[in-house]
Structure 1
Amino acid sequence: MILRSHARTAVLSMVTTLALGTLGAAPAEAAAAACSAAPDTKSAARVHGWGTPVWCDEFEDEYLDSADWVFYDSPGHAGKGRRTSQELYLGNGALYLHGLPDGTTAGLGARHAQSYGRWETRIRLYRGAGAYRPMALLWPNGGGGGEYSATREEIDFMGVYNDPSRQRADFFLETPKGGHELGYADVDMTKWHTYAVENSPAGVVGYLDGREWFRSSHSTRSPMSLCLQLDWFPGEGSNGEAWMEVDWVRIYPMNAGGDG
């Protein structure tokens, strides 16, 4: 498990500065109750009536549990840099992923996988190195540790590619039969937004603040895990540090409310 107290003093000070006054810690019973329903009107789950999640993480506890998460400890994307749990931090009811200028960064994947369903997360980014790509994605079981998945399946339902100002959200879909499909939206990602995706036999739909912004008739078929990654692409953007702040994540079954 990743304990809140494992954060180094200097970095924890920066985390506190970034988050201070924006998110208050909720009592444990309130956090548990919040898991039963979508928490705000800009949630796709609330707008489209997805019902009760099968699993969520509010990041209100004192630790991240290894029973729920796979913590990356490996070379970074395409073998560049290093992913380590030492750059994961908890504070003020949020999870932070931190990337250092030398490519030491963080990533983790939920152990709760399903082939079809709905996934949603609330994220805020900070202006930072263009060489870092903040990502919320679906990847076959085990997390997005490699350059390509074994099944060639991937759904990036929140990505940033070489944009240090964090003003453009990218959507990426890769399926064995459908090839590569891309979408994007101009949005200030330094403010809080919810990002969601629905994967069904009929196709993939992406949502930004509850509104559809991507649709494809292709979809993935393998059991998929929700992953949070801060990926390093040296030489493909400005150098430096990067931060990614995650308020919560939720997973819904395909038949939970809505029209699915």
Structure 2
Amino acid sequence: MLKRIRIYVVIMAMMTMLCIQNTSVKAEANEAEANWSLVFQDDFNGTSVDTTNWRMYDGPGHVGNGLRKPSAFSVANGILTVTAQMIDGNLVSGGMAHKANYKYGKFEFRVRTDPDQSAATSAVVLTWPESENWPTDGENDIYETHPNVTRSQLGSYVHYGLNGVDKTVSHMRDIDATQWHTVAMEWEPDEIRIYIDGVLDWVTTDTGAIPDVAHHLTIQLDAFKKVMFGSTKMYVDWVKIYQKTQFPDNPTFRVIDDADVNTISYTGTWNHQSDFWFEKRTKSVTDMSGASAEMTFNGPGIAVYTKKMNLGGIFEVFIDGQSEGLVDTYNRSDLYIERVFEKTGLADGEHTIKLVATGDKNSSSTGAYIGFDFFEILYGSPTDNTAPVATAVIKPELPDGKQGWYTQPVEVRLNTINDSSGSAEMLYSFDNGTTWLPYNEPIMIDKDGRFTIQYRAKGKEGNMGEAKTLNVDLDATAPTIAISGINDGDMLNDAGDVTPIITANDGLSGMDGSKTTVTLDTSSLESGTKVPLYKLRLGPHSLTVTASDQAGNKSIRTIRFETSTSMEAIDRLVQRFAEMKLIDSDGIIKDLRSQLASGELAEFANQVKAQSDKHISSEAAGCLLRDAEYLLGGQV
């Protein structure tokens, strides 16, 4: 079906200058177009949405207004239609998201939107971050009609996060959005360009706003109210997605990632997974004999990148149907982004590469897995005197402790980002560059200390890259706690005192004094405070000290002890309370000590009761009666 008919009428006598101007614009557009490669196109020629490429929304509507349902979409006569209308008391509309994500690219589509007498909906085509981290990772609203009746304006917005707050740069234009328009966004690291019907309409170069993470395209008819009358529709004729052709003037390579299922054909059982350490954080894994990954390409050379590991198996490479031999991906330790195969000198034209898992392994391997990362199409091999740029990936990505400290072992992996030869040597140093060591496997930092790692890359031609520095501060050891003045397991009579002395030390990140606590049973205690034991209940007690360092490591130490009493201890308490003037009669003191000496504990208790709050303070009386009751077995 011919979906777009363009009629050009040139009135030469009246439009000479305009034609000259348009010719210049077309030349520039054609030159720019040559730098974009089409990677996806949907002409909606079927009878329903192709859900292998699109994910349908099924849930609450925009900011909770109504519902988004797959049933809002229909496909007929080469047109995708989204309808918003009231169904069973709910405003039902729709949205769908392309399943592939792209960091930068050209997104183009042909669209129109009906008027909305309720001013309840806005038609929008946008890119949304793969991470779902909004607004930090941005949002590019390419086409937005706003919830107005006449659809007489279109907006374009670039959302970005500033301290977690949504900010935008935007552009509005007056246009009849009920008519068909071809709209495109060219998104590059330093510029976003919006085109309407082939004419550049708006440019932003605000690099603080332009997203720098992968996004996917979405088509949405969003509800801005909970109710509407009648219905409205959004129509999309076609969608195209392009990627920038790498190195258009002197191309050297192009990466085809394992996740590009539109380019790579898989057979057999493959697990397509996310993995932090792979080139684009995705991997395709199989151990099934006969499972294959196949791709057609144009170029004089091709390379294959996989993970090498102790579970690594063997696969066979075929180019244009001819075997190029077996590749063994075993290695004692994990190696990522490894170039395991390269073929150059191919004739001009189209070629096919196919990887076939054999299900075999060498005797040292513990598995037969193939961890496929990406193909690299090699367009040429010019002498590269550019110094390779070293990169470092640290795991955990951010310090897991406080004040910039790590509290668990740190793994550092080194790589390069512009080594087209794939043969750069990675070097690192722990002594400020005095000694450079070859990087063969991940660097593990598992001992406490402050480490400065310098790293750089040495190119095939001997050209040395700039040294970079990475600082890692690791404190995985909790503070030490020393307690004196009392020992674990002590049995103490309650006539005495204890004075706990607490010392907490940390030899690296230092103590966080605000987090040090001392608790006796349930009460706070200062180090060096004398504790009269008669003030504690008889029985078991615990002294607990908690200390934290600046990195967030915490230590807890507990001393457990018991207090008890005896006739001698009670006699000492009588003397102590007399000295403290808590018993103020010499006669009563003499009688009480005499009763204790003769073992008349019941008479002692009765006299204490009789004199409580008189010649014996209530505090002293309570302690003496408690101890007497303890010895009498609760008979006081």
Length-normalised TM-score, structure 1: 0.75
Aligned partner of 2:157 in structure 1 is: 172
Cα distance in 1 between the residues matched to 2:130 and 2:231: 29
Q: Does 1:105 align with 2:96?
A: no
Cα distance in 1 between the residues matched to 2:119 and 2:247: 39
1:82-101 equivalences in 2 (<5 Å)? 82-101=67-86
Cα distance in 2 between the residues matched to 1:192 and 1:257: 35
SS in 2 for 1:86: helix
Q: Does 1:136 align with 2:110?
A: no
1:178-197 equivalences in 2 (<5 Å)? 179-197=167-185
Shift of 1:40: 6.3
Q: Does 1:75 align with 2:60?
A: yes
Aligned partner of 2:38 in structure 1 is: 53
> CA separation of 1:83/1:46 partners in 2, compared to 1, >3 Å: closer, same or farther?
farther
Q: Does 1:250 align with 2:243?
A: no
SS in 1 for 2:151: coil
Determine if contact 1:135/1:229 at 8 Å carries over to the other structure: yes
CA offsets 1:165-190 (integer angstroms, 9 cap, x no match): 11111111112359311111111111
Which of 194, 207, 214 does residue 206 from structure 1 map onto? 194
> CA separation of 1:93/1:152 partners in 2, compared to 1, >3 Å: closer, same or farther?
same
> CA separation of 1:149/1:240 partners in 2, compared to 1, >3 Å: closer, same or farther?
farther
Cα distance in 1 between the residues matched to 2:235 and 2:247: 29
Shift of 1:141: 2.4
Which of 223, 234, 239 does residue 232 from structure 1 map onto? 223
SS in 1 for 2:154: strand
> CA separation of 1:126/1:64 partners in 2, compared to 1, >3 Å: closer, same or farther?
same
Letter of the structure 1 residue corresponding to residue 190 of structure 2: A
> CA separation of 1:40/1:54 partners in 2, compared to 1, >3 Å: closer, same or farther?
farther
Shift of 1:47: 8.2
Moved more, 150-159 or 198-207: 150-159
> CA separation of 1:193/1:258 partners in 2, compared to 1, >3 Å: closer, same or farther?
farther
Letter of the structure 2 residue corresponding to residue 224 of structure 1: H
> CA separation of 1:110/1:230 partners in 2, compared to 1, >3 Å: closer, same or farther?
same
Shift of 1:203: 2.0
Letter of the structure 2 residue corresponding to residue 225 of structure 1: H
> CA separation of 1:201/1:40 partners in 2, compared to 1, >3 Å: closer, same or farther?
farther
Determine if contact 1:207/1:213 at 8 Å carries over to the other structure: yes
> CA separation of 1:41/1:225 partners in 2, compared to 1, >3 Å: closer, same or farther?
farther
Shift of 1:48: 4.0
> CA separation of 1:214/1:256 partners in 2, compared to 1, >3 Å: closer, same or farther?
farther
Determine if contact 2:48/2:74 at 8 Å carries over to the other structure: no
Cα distance in 2 between the residues matched to 1:82 and 1:120: 27
CA offsets 1:127-151 (integer angstroms, 9 cap, x no match): 12311000010111288xxxx8363
Determine if contact 1:133/1:160 at 8 Å carries over to the other structure: yes
Letter of the structure 2 residue corresponding to residue 211 of structure 1: V
Determine if contact 2:126/2:143 at 8 Å carries over to the other structure: yes
RMSD over equivalenced CA pairs, Å:
3.2
Cα distance in 1 between the residues matched to 2:194 and 2:73: 26
Cα distance in 2 between the residues matched to 1:57 and 1:199: 20
Moved more, 115-124 or 44-53: 44-53
> CA separation of 1:88/1:256 partners in 2, compared to 1, >3 Å: closer, same or farther?
farther
Cα distance in 1 between the residues matched to 2:109 and 2:41: 9
1:119-130 equivalences in 2 (<5 Å)? 119-128=107-116, 129-130=118-119
Shift of 1:249: 0.3
Which of 48, 61, 65 does residue 63 from structure 1 map onto? 48
Q: Per chain length, whose mean CA-contact separation is higher, i.e. which structure has more relative contact order (CA < 8 Å, sep 6+)?
A: 1
CA offsets 1:219-251 (integer angstroms, 9 cap, x no match): 11121111000000017x975421000000000
Aligned partner of 1:22 in structure 2 is: none
Determine if contact 1:49/1:258 at 8 Å carries over to the other structure: no
Aligned partner of 1:115 in structure 2 is: 103
Shift of 1:49: 1.5
Determine if contact 1:113/1:223 at 8 Å carries over to the other structure: yes
Cα distance in 1 between the residues matched to 2:29 and 2:52: 25
Cα distance in 2 between the residues matched to 1:142 and 1:56: 24
Segments of structure 2 that go 5 or more residues without pairing to the other structure are: 9-25, 250-636
Aligned partner of 1:7 in structure 2 is: none
Length-normalised TM-score, structure 2: 0.32
Moved more, 154-163 or 41-50: 41-50
SS in 2 for 1:63: coil
Cα distance in 2 between the residues matched to 1:40 and 1:257: 33
How many pairs does the alignment contain? 220
Asked which structure has the greater CA Rg, the reply is 2
Letter of the structure 2 residue corresponding to residue 169 of structure 1: L
Cα distance in 2 between the residues matched to 1:238 and 1:258: 50
SS in 2 for 1:54: strand
Shift of 1:210: 1.3
Determine if contact 2:97/2:217 at 8 Å carries over to the other structure: yes
% identity of equivalent residues: 26
